[in-house]
Structure 1
């Protein structure tokens, strides 16, 4: 698949998450579970490592557990279980590599890359935590607008040295504008959030361009949804630290 298709997948996933935020909690949980499983399935394909099915389960299931915990635990510890699921997933990654035995191909790449995949899968629970936190959902809408602008900038087929600052700047401007239009969020926190989200998303674009080769659909799916998953926890913590 072409590199621009990854941005389209990210935009579709982001739109689905934001729409589900304004539906029932069960709908948001179902979407978060699907995103975690999609990241789990696609990430090993992006890395191009062996044992893809096993590692897909190791990456995706902790994300599912983290999402379920974020939806069920009592306030305010929405993400209290997330570090535990991350640790469980990382431990499972090491266990899989031990079972594979010595001398197997790409063991180091599998360990490092899959640990990152576990983290990204589990961070998707932040969307649920953000929706439950104070019952105010406007911050997630601001997050969605900033992320969408950064993803749209990434679709432009210009060099990374141009797209990176452009995406960060546009996301930084979109955050305050969305805050003024859709909520009463202060300009500075919204701008900080937009810049952080833009930096994260353009970094993932760089990972795609560094890959060099054409990606299959599972790889594009995982790579498109992984940064969207991470944005959820960014929105939650920025809301908690800077706004509320």
Structure 2
């Protein structure tokens, strides 16, 4: 899959997140869980880890657990149990390595890769938590719009390299600010900040994956397409806390 197709696919996923936020928290949690499963399916192939089965199971359980905890938690703080989910994910990563056979080659690489997958998957819970902030669905929608536009811009041939990535960040921020004018719960400045943050995620990960040879695998592509949306979840929640209030 080409860089352009991957960027467009990420943009589509961001649009799905925005639509789910509009429909309600339950739909947003469902979409976040699907993002986790897509990420888990391709994380090991993306990093070329030696035990894809164990890695996929650990990443999926941790991510879905984080989304479920964020969805089920009532009151503040919304993510108060998320550290426990991450801790259990770390334990599962080591258990998965203990269950490996054949001498456990590339042990350190396998553990570190699985743990990083756990962190990225659990970040999906941030979308659900952001939907429960004061700005609620408005924050999620504006952020997802910025993410979608930044991803779409990165699909253009002229948007390659750092200069093109910065253009995508700027346009993502502008799109999110424009979306903020259409919703009453978030101001233009806060929307622009959310759009810039998600645009930066797209830019950095796009440059990171641009030279990753494993992307010739369709499973690796799934993870590469999903990762910007997943990571943005927790960052959008932070923006909601620090900027929106």
Same fold? TM cut 0.5: yes
Are 1:58 and 1:93, in contact at CA under 8 Å, matched by a contact in 2? yes
Q: Deviations over 1:87-115 (max 9, x none)?
A: 22123223333443796433333222222
The residue number in structure 1 matching 2:222 is 221
CA distance in 2, matches of 1:104, 1:229: 29
Q: Which stretch of structure 1 is more off in the superposition, 42-51 or 91-100?
A: 91-100
Instruction: Give the number of aligned pairs.
Output: 244
Q: Which stretch of structure 1 is more off in the superposition, 124-133 or 51-60?
A: 124-133
- TM-score for both structures, normalised by structure 1: 0.90
Q: Deviations over 1:20-61 (max 9, x none)?
A: 112243322222211111111111111111211111010111
CA drift of 1:165 comes to 1.5
Matches within 5 A, 1:86-97: 86-97=86-97
Give yes or no for the alignment of 1:231 onto 2:232.
yes
Matches within 5 A, 1:1-244: 1-100=1-100, 104-134=104-134, 136-158=136-158, 159-183=160-184, 185-244=186-245
CA distance in 1, matches of 2:35, 2:85: 16
Are 2:40 and 2:56, in contact at CA under 8 Å, matched by a contact in 1? yes
Q: Name the CA shift for 1:134/1:191 in 2 (closer, same or farther; >3 Å).
A: closer
Are 1:10 and 1:224, in contact at CA under 8 Å, matched by a contact in 2? yes
Root mean square deviation, CA, Å? 2.1
Q: Name the CA shift for 1:25/1:193 in 2 (closer, same or farther; >3 Å).
A: closer
- TM-score for both structures, normalised by structure 2: 0.90
SS in structure 2 of the partner of residue 85 of structure 1? helix
Are 2:127 and 2:140, in contact at CA under 8 Å, matched by a contact in 1? yes
CA drift of 1:182 comes to 3.2
- Contiguous gaps of at least 5 residues in structure 1: none
CA drift of 1:67 comes to 0.6
Q: Which stretch of structure 1 is more off in the superposition, 92-101 or 69-78?
A: 92-101
CA drift of 1:14 comes to 1.6
